[in-house]
Amino acid sequence: MTHNLPTVIDLNGPDGNAFALIAYARRWSKFLDLDPVPIQQDMMSGDCDVFEEYFGDFVTLYR
């Protein structure tokens, strides 16, 4: 299965806001066959490192 997801996300750019990261998390979750609901809930709770914990092996985040 192919995906059109970035492998690098600049957190200072337009893809670095919380809504964009949550959208990427939903797409990565589908691609990796993960349940996106708990990931999204963790991200919305204010834990900034959740995205990197789940998807850090696939995406590089530039701060």
Joined together, the tokens standing for residue 61 give 């985040």
In this prediction, residue 3 carries a pLDDT of 66
pLDDT in tens, 2-53: 567 778 999 999 999 989 999 999 999 998 999 999 999 999 987 768 999 9
Per the structure block, which two tokens stand in for 63? 């701060």
First to last CA, the chain: 29
pTM greater than 0.95 (yes/no): no
Percent helix / strand / coil, the chain, rounded to 5: 50, 10, 40
Q: Where are the domains of the chain?
A: 8-62
